[in-house]
Amino acid sequence: MVRIILGVIVGFFAWAMVWFGGEAVLSAVWAGFGSHQAAFQDAIEHGGPFTADSTVLLVHVVLASIVSVVAGFLAALIAGENKRAPLILAFLLLAMGLLKAAMSWDYVPVWYHIIFTVILVLMTILGGKLKAAGR
């Protein structure tokens, strides 16, 4: 049980580190990504208009997919099993994704909220299954 809890914690922190690191890299190499992120953050903090860029949103979906697979794989690797740890992590990430969706609901399209939150769950579980396949 301790290994499962540790796997979930490490998976969650790995997800956050890789997510924020990926966003930092994308902002550094793609000026449009960085300015979009800054405008989004400003709209959330101060209100006002914001128009979401579909390309940036799709990049977020791809990044979330990659990061979630990695996090699910790590959770399964550390836990020594491939079902419970990735599943618990998936629900934890889903809760965080729903919180993010609630905070940004007015600023991005509904399709993004749905795809992003579903991706968090499915790809985290897939990461756990990949660990099982590579035993």
Domain ranges of the chain: 2-134
Tell which wins on pLDDT, 91 or 131: 91
Cα(123)–Cα(62) distance, integer angstroms: 11
Q: What is the pLDDT of residue 132?
A: 73
Pairwise CA distance, residues 126 & 68, whole Å: 9
- Give the tens place of pLDDT for each residue, 14-62: 999 999 999 999 999 998 888 888 888 888 888 778 888 899 999 999 9
pTM: 0.90
